[in-house]
Amino acid sequence: MFTGIVSDCGIVKKISNTGDNNFQITVGTTKMDLSTVKIGDSIATNGVCLTVTQLMDNCFTADISHETYHCTNLCSLTVGSTVHLEKALQVSERLDGHIVTGHVDGIGELLAIENHGKSTDFIIQIPEELSRYVTKKGSIAADGISLTVNDLPAENHIRLTIIPHTVNNTNIRNWQTGQKINIEVDLLARYIERLLNFSDSTDRQTANNAQELTYETLLKNNFI
């Protein structure tokens, strides 16, 4: 579990195909303290939850499954690429962002960058099937950064207004139009949808069962 508060912009040191379209990535840190990290811990890398398999001086290595590789923007990384890093949340820490799982829901595309004084607007097109989970002033994770959706300018488009501190301390400063961005929608929205759909299906099943309640059913189950 993560918060979407990026603690470091790491640098890809190595990425290799380990066979059967599975990959291994080694990332060097610049500010993140790895002394508290152990093998098996999770580190969000561009918003993707990866499991640490090796630790070296200021570096960690993780495996990337073929599913993760092809369903996120990790497939576009090369040696020298910068990635957002965040260690897994500890219970004692503040939840400054929002609840982020590190499970990417889809890939968005940066359509436009608009400067407005000290802030910058980023217009991102997200997959159509994710639009129902996004609301104005709601939370979203973009490449692992917890951000607020300031507006929905068009169908399956979101507008993010980014302050200078976030731009200067994340890889957002290097974003360009056409950029592919990992998107994770608010987890609460998914649970609400599941709850509503489950309730509806349960109600329908109950109604169907009631229609099937016959004299023969009662007799068979010793009610008569």
Reported as a single tens digit per residue, the pLDDT across 165-196 is: 999 999 999 999 999 999 999 988 888 888 87
Together in a domain, 72 and 131: no
CATH, residue 43: 2.40.30.20
Which pair of tokens denotes residue 137?
């002033």
- Cα separation, 59 vs 111, in Å, equals 33
Distance CA(182)–CA(141), nearest Å, equals 8
pTM confidence score: 0.85
For residue 146, what are the contacts with CB-CB under 8 A and spacing of at least 6?
Answer: 3, 4, 5, 96, 97, 98, 100, 139
Decide if 111 is inside a domain.
yes
| Residue 210 in this model has a pLDDT that exceeds 50 | no
Question: pLDDT: is 30 or 200 the higher one?
Answer: 30
Domain range for 164: 106-188
Q: What pLDDT is attached to residue 200?
A: 57
Structural domain contains residue 213 = no
143/69 same-domain check: no
Where in the chain does DSSP place strands (E)?
8-19, 22-28, 42-45, 48-56, 59-64, 82-87, 106-116, 119-125, 139-142, 145-154, 157-162, 180-185
144, part of any domain: yes
Is 75 within a domain? yes
pLDDT digits over 41-95, tens only? Answer: 999 999 999 999 999 989 999 999 999 999 999 999 999 999 999 999 887 777 7
Whole-number Cα distances in Å, 217 to 52, 207, 220: 57, 16, 5
Note whether residue 161 is domain-resident: yes
Number of domains the chain contains: 2
Judgement on whether residues 20 and 68 belong to the same structural domain of the protein = yes
Instruction: For residues 111 and 141, state if they share a domain.
Output: yes
Q: Are residues 145 and 182 in the same domain?
A: yes
Do 122 and 74 belong to one domain?
Answer: no
Q: Which of 20, 52, 87 represents a domain boundary (last residue)?
A: 87
Token reading at 173 = 């400063």
Single out the residue of 47, 22, 8 nearest to residue 142, CA to CA.
Answer: 47
